[in-house]
Structure 1
Amino acid sequence: MDGLFRSDAFRQVILTAGTMWPRTINTESDVTPTRDGAPMTRIAGGIFHMGADDQYPEEAPVHIRRVETFWIDLTPVTNALFARFVAQTGHVTLAERTPDPAAYPDADPALLVPGSLVFVQPSAATDLLDGLAWWRYLPGASWRCPQGPGSSIAGLDDHPVVHVALADALAYAAWAGKDLPTEAEWEYAARGGLDRAEFAWGNELMPGARHMANTWQGRFPFENLSDDGYVGTSPVTAFPCNGYGVFDMIGNVWEWTKDSYRATHAEPPPARCCSAKTDRSSDLEHMVVKGGSHLCAPNHCRRYRPAARQSQSIDTSSTHIGFRCVTRDPQLQ
């Protein structure tokens, strides 16, 4: 990742991104590589309209939020960065551990083995309310083997790491001296200064017929036209950055936040007293994930927007969930 930060191509993207957007963005002087080698950019605090009233009900109501100044990773954490973390710490992800049978008393014993959720494309149209039609718990699937045994991340160093549960993201953030973003910080950064715009780049999904993010083209889940050039994940700088010079806030992979999920913005945050005490528990907390993924399509999960949000149990890992980090270190302000 250090090489990515230093590369002429990457620096040029950062410095010229402002020509694409209606406001001045952070320049290279506001971009810094940090302890884990991931470049971060400074997001000046401010007020914005959070949520949406004309999309999914959980995004309502639109309300005013203030965030303080923070720094955010320019991209999701990549396979290369996560591999460095694992090499230095010996971390074993939740997907690589054997589940505790006591935490899952109703589970099929055959599934109580290390593994993770993998998207398997059906051959024909299916009920869009039946996620089991395309999700499989695949033994042996992990960040190292994203499609299960026999697969690898060879050649995917610059793709986002996947198959990371909340505990894995938090462990990485702690190692890097960072944190996960709050939902408000994440959405504020994703908007890139375009307050109340539908997308991170404006109000048109494909301005000038240009794909702006890695999402699903075709009829989900059985027809993937891959008009954007990718089936599955893509390099974290494959698509244009937003107005703050931040990449991949939309599409590619969902990203963990540190906020507990609530059904709408109007509901009070849930009490933390019932949060899981261990990595796997029968009393699972659900957190907010943001940004949508390469599996989001116009006919299903139209959540490739800054306001979009989804609930995710803390023990879940899959082929379409990753994360990025923030820091609120005043020494960097």
Structure 2
Amino acid sequence: MSSCCSTAGRVGGGRAVTPDSMIALHGKAGEVVAVKGGESFVGSNEAVIAADGEGPARKVNIADFYLEIETVTNRRFADFVAATGYQTEAEKYGCTAVFSPLLTEEKLAAQNVAETPWWTRVHGAFWAMPEGPGSSIDDRLDHPVTQVSWNDAVAFAAWVGGRLPTEAEWEHAARGGNRSRCYPWGDEEPNDTDIFCNIWQGRFPYHNTLADGFLGTAPVRSYAPTESGFYNLVGNVWEWSADAFRIRSLSRQAKLRNANAAKHGDKVLKGGSFLCHKSYCYRYRIAARMGLSADSAASNTGFRIAYDQMPFNAK
């Protein structure tokens, strides 16, 4: 099963950029939920996409932590940039991956990706102009920030005194503790009638029925939250985690993928995005995962923040 975004995401050639360690810790934390740790697990013994390293399930011990209830919004990221002057990697490289149907001007398209023609590289696209020059986030301030790399996410996390969650922490929070479930809301499969998250409806990539009302991202508090209070843990945007991407297998395919991941500094993303569909990219499940280089950015990558302790300036 192919990924909806991995080919187009890498725009910096795998060149990792170390975030500015001097960024002041004065950003305001978002609203958080306290997550009780303990013995838990990550992955699944019923892996759907085994090549991604979804399984087998393995036990982990997780310390108590705090996790923001929503992904970081365009509004919060704008505050970060205004306060620090931070420049994202998409801005430095001058080109990033845009979901082609979101483009309003085809002339902005620099190059389509052969394996995934619904992605195009666009010069001048970055978080504030996510579809390139002429686009804007003015009417999307409550949507998740996109076109942000892992390095960008780490820099923002440092500004608010937090960090990215580990893959195990993210799964533990999404399952509501040490229990087995396919999705954050349970095991009921979303469809065009029962809509639990922002994913693709219709025939990917040819026709989206827009049954959920969105071709691209949705506001971060769309749809019902989990019992714990988390919004949009699956669908909408992929979420960067703290972990390096690695497949725990001795197969030849896994060894090759791990070598490539190590070469490019790939990190784990969780949750899938608005481009996921069961027929093509069935990755809006809790156990699903994807790896992209730390400098990758695209129309469907974002992040949320974790904390070891209750942030003193949380909402």
With the length of structure 1 as denominator, give the TM-score of the two structures.
0.75
TM-aligned CA distance change 1:72 to 1:287, over 3 Å: same
Instruction: Answer yes or no: is the 8 Å Cα contact 2:43–2:54 preserved in 1.
Output: yes
1:266 is displaced (CA, Å) by: 8.1
Matches within 5 A, 1:12-27: none
1:163 is displaced (CA, Å) by: 0.3
Residue 34 of structure 2 aligns to which amino acid in structure 1?
R
TM-aligned CA distance change 1:37 to 1:179, over 3 Å: closer
1:206 is displaced (CA, Å) by: 3.2
Task: Give unmatched runs, 5+ long, in structure 2.
Answer: 1-25, 103-112
Task: Give unmatched runs, 5+ long, in structure 1.
Answer: 1-33, 99-113, 123-128, 277-282
Flag the structure with larger Rg.
1
1:304 — aligned with what? Answer: 284
2:300 — aligned with what? Answer: 320
With the length of structure 2 as denominator, give the TM-score of the two structures.
0.79
- Structure 2 residue aligned with 1:157, among 117, 135, 141? 141
Matches within 5 A, 1:107-126: 114-121=94-101
CA offsets 1:248-299 (integer angstroms, 9 cap, x no match)? 1110000001100012378999xxxx999xxxxxx42001000000000011
TM-aligned CA distance change 1:142 to 1:264, over 3 Å: same
Give 3-state SS (helix, strand or coil) of 2:213's partner.
coil
TM-aligned CA distance change 1:225 to 1:46, over 3 Å: same
- Residues in 2 aligned to 1:56 and 1:316: alpha-carbon distance in whole angstroms: 22
Matches within 5 A, 1:234-245: 234-245=218-229
Percentage of matched positions with identical amino acids: 39
Instruction: Answer yes or no: is the 8 Å Cα contact 2:73–2:141 preserved in 1.
Output: yes
Matches within 5 A, 1:1-333: 35-54=27-46, 55-57=48-50, 58-98=53-93, 114-121=94-101, 131-193=115-177, 195-206=179-190, 209-264=193-248, 283-329=263-309
Give 3-state SS (helix, strand or coil) of 2:214's partner.
coil
- Residues in 2 aligned to 1:38 and 1:331: alpha-carbon distance in whole angstroms: 9
- Residues in 2 aligned to 1:142 and 1:323: alpha-carbon distance in whole angstroms: 15
TM-aligned CA distance change 1:207 to 1:143, over 3 Å: closer
Instruction: Answer yes or no: is the 8 Å Cα contact 1:215–1:295 preserved in 2.
Output: yes
- Residues in 2 aligned to 1:68 and 1:265: alpha-carbon distance in whole angstroms: 26
1:8 — aligned with what? Answer: none
Instruction: Answer yes or no: is the 8 Å Cα contact 2:73–2:142 preserved in 1.
Output: yes
1:88 is displaced (CA, Å) by: 0.2
TM-aligned CA distance change 1:67 to 1:151, over 3 Å: same
Residue 190 of structure 1 aligns to which amino acid in structure 2?
A
1:331 is displaced (CA, Å) by: 7.8
- Residues in 2 aligned to 1:235 and 1:330: alpha-carbon distance in whole angstroms: 25
1:37 is displaced (CA, Å) by: 4.2
1:301 is displaced (CA, Å) by: 0.8
Give 3-state SS (helix, strand or coil) of 1:59's partner.
coil
- Residues in 2 aligned to 1:210 and 1:194: alpha-carbon distance in whole angstroms: 26
Instruction: Answer yes or no: is the 8 Å Cα contact 2:75–2:142 preserved in 1.
Output: yes
Instruction: Answer yes or no: is the 8 Å Cα contact 2:42–2:167 preserved in 1.
Output: no
- Residues in 2 aligned to 1:200 and 1:131: alpha-carbon distance in whole angstroms: 31
Instruction: Answer yes or no: is the 8 Å Cα contact 2:27–2:80 preserved in 1.
Output: no
1:314 is displaced (CA, Å) by: 1.0
Residue 60 of structure 1 aligns to which amino acid in structure 2?
G
- Residues in 1 aligned to 2:192 and 2:138: alpha-carbon distance in whole angstroms: 34
TM-aligned CA distance change 1:275 to 1:223, over 3 Å: closer
Give 3-state SS (helix, strand or coil) of 2:281's partner.
coil
- Residues in 2 aligned to 1:208 and 1:295: alpha-carbon distance in whole angstroms: 14
1:130 is displaced (CA, Å) by: 5.5
By relative contact order (CA 8 Å, sep 6+), the higher-ranking structure is 2
Give 3-state SS (helix, strand or coil) of 1:229's partner.
coil
TM-aligned CA distance change 1:160 to 1:266, over 3 Å: farther
1:172 is displaced (CA, Å) by: 0.3
- Residues in 1 aligned to 2:271 and 2:114: alpha-carbon distance in whole angstroms: 22
Residue 311 of structure 1 aligns to which amino acid in structure 2?
G
1:209 is displaced (CA, Å) by: 4.0
Instruction: Answer yes or no: is the 8 Å Cα contact 2:74–2:142 preserved in 1.
Output: yes
- Residues in 2 aligned to 1:304 and 1:190: alpha-carbon distance in whole angstroms: 11
Instruction: Answer yes or no: is the 8 Å Cα contact 2:261–2:291 preserved in 1.
Output: no
- Residues in 2 aligned to 1:296 and 1:150: alpha-carbon distance in whole angstroms: 27
Instruction: Answer yes or no: is the 8 Å Cα contact 1:49–1:196 preserved in 2.
Output: no
